[in-house]
Amino acid sequence: MVLIRPRITDYYDILVAQSEVDFAIPLLEEDIPLYVDPFLLWKSPSQQDQALHTSLINAFNQLNFLLKEGNKDRAVRDLVLTSECPEVGLGYSRNRQGVRIGEKKASEILSLFESIPEYGQHGFRHFEEIQLYIDGISKDRVSDICCSFLKSFLIDFTIDQCEMLGIPLDDVVVSSVYDYQDYSFLADERVRLPVSPESGKPIIFVPKRWLRFTPWINFDDYFKDYCPRDDVFNADEPQDRVKVLNFNRHNYGVVQNYVKAKIRAQEDCKADPLFRQIPVTSAKRKLSEIRNLPTGKTEQADRRYEDLASQLLASLLYPHLDFAEVQSRTHSGSLIRDLIFYNNKAVDFLEEIYTDYGNRQLVMELKNVRAIEREHISQLNRYLATGLGNFGVLVTRNRLPKAMFSNTVDLWSGQRKCIVALTDEDLSLMVNVFESRQRSSIDVLKKTYVEFRRACPA
């Protein structure tokens, strides 16, 4: 069975939607493009999250204690260890591997305790403030430092989630687990965790409630709305990031005013979902644009159709189908774009697709043509033969011509391959259902399938 962007749940045939679990379901071969934001732990109503944030801050400020004790080498070593946490798989790496910061960068971060008296005396309340002082430190490092210090909790969280879902656990060795009793990193710890079937490396889950695309406190937000640029730059001078960071190191009060403003606005700080549906107004606007597009490739109408249909269907079919990705492939010199969805068997129709056709994922091929031809059906049929399952969808402008519909019926009769079509009219109906909230948009896809099966011989 071929899987596109497989998740750990898909690999073990545990069909659960992302919306139904408390953690971000890890991808096996790449990172999830989200990050842990420690501010979410700080503002959480959960006493557990608040306690974890306190532990996190105490661990980070322990580095200052090491400096004062004359143990800078250990402080540098500990900070380097925290700067990468590959087990959680967060970020934009295509292979779940990152690179730790060097000792020079670690020393630069630690110098904040010495160069800014307030940090040296009282420590950090929100360690993500380091983004506002040190070049090359951004959301990925903040997230990794957070996960590294909280790895012991995340290991226990992962084990609990795996036991609830039935995800297999293996004996593995995890390095750099922080011990809060003596404020040090353990060299190795043997635990039971899920592992990547490709690399055999351990995987750690992260609660969804901790994740954002960008930390609430971050440099870009500060620079855009809070940085006193007239005090930093001369007239007509290039607005260089490094000069802002240098200014901040000498103007602690300016940074704290920004942090206080973010604390006052904390109600607006919410976790980002891994997928967010577009609003109804946007759905209706995209549908209108699709219906006004010409068929064919005139002025790249085919590409525009593919973009609009992708965005629309990903939202209309959520949460019953989790969107995997838009995948491009070539056939006879032409580029074909497909939508790939994870099939979680969320409704009876999807369970039937899984049981009868073997589809652990669902493929939709996008065709901005006036009429589907035999070769279009053959293309999708050949693609299904690669192991994706025997059910596929042609997303196109108009209903299949009678001869082509007969062709799909013959394909089902001879090979038990099922290819159905979603048209502009179907998309319109899906948007109407999406707006009314009375039923699910996936019922429209089910309707086309039922109509198809009625036409097939018994």
DSSP at 310: H
Is residue 382 included in any domain, yes or no?
Answer: yes
Instruction: Tell whether 345 and 439 lie within a shared domain.
Output: yes
pLDDT of residue 98: 78
> Is residue 188 within 8 Å of residue 74, measured between CB atoms?
no
Looking at the structure, tell me whether residues 417 and 303 fall in a common domain: yes
Specify whether 264 is located in the same domain as 286: no
Bridge partners for 27 per DSSP: 7
Encode the chain (458 residues) as per-residue pLDDT tens digits. Answer: 678 888 999 999 998 999 899 999 999 888 998 999 999 999 999 999 999 999 999 999 999 999 999 999 999 999 999 999 999 999 887 777 778 999 999 999 999 999 999 999 999 999 999 999 999 999 999 999 999 999 999 999 999 999 999 999 999 999 999 999 889 998 889 999 999 988 899 999 999 999 999 999 999 999 999 999 999 998 888 889 999 999 999 999 999 999 999 999 999 999 998 888 899 999 999 999 999 999 998 889 999 999 999 999 999 999 899 998 887 666 655 667 789 999 989 899 999 999 999 999 999 999 999 999 999 999 999 888 888 899 999 999 999 999 999 999 999 999 999 999 999 999 999 999 999 988 899 999 999 999 999 999 97
Into how many domains does the chain fold? 2
Among 234, 268, 302, where does a domain finish? 268
Whose tokens are 């070049």? That residue is 135
End position of a domain, from candidates 217, 240, 268 = 268
- The CATH number of whichever domain residue 294 belongs to comes to 3.40.91
Helical pair 301-316 and 424-436, crossing angle rounded to 10 deg: 40
366 and 284, same domain (yes or no)? yes
Are 59 and 152 within one domain?
Answer: yes
- On whether both 200 and 286 belong to a single domain, the answer is no
Calpha distance 128→268 (Å, rounded): 18
Determine, yes or no, domain membership for 316: yes
Question: What is the per-residue pLDDT across 49-107, written as a single tens digit (0 to 9) for each?
Answer: 999 999 999 999 999 999 999 999 999 999 999 999 999 999 887 777 778 999 999 99
Question: At 174, which helix (H) or strand (E)?
Answer: strand 170-179
308 and 175 share a domain? no
Residue 3 lies in a domain: no
Q: Is residue 99 part of a domain?
A: yes
Same domain for 252 and 307, yes or no, is no
Are 98 and 150 in the same domain? yes
> Is 263 in the same domain as 292?
no
Instruction: Assess whether 360 and 384 both reside in one domain.
Output: yes
Q: Which residues contact 249 (CB under 8 A, 6 or more apart)?
A: 112, 115, 116, 133
Same domain, 137 and 234: yes
Residue 275 falls within a domain, yes or no? no
Domain end point (choices 268, 295, 310) = 268
| Parent domain of 286 | 280-455
Which residues, 6 or more positions from 339, have their beta carbon under 8 angstroms from its beta carbon? 309, 310, 313, 314, 323, 326, 327, 363, 364, 366, 395
pLDDT score at 234:
87
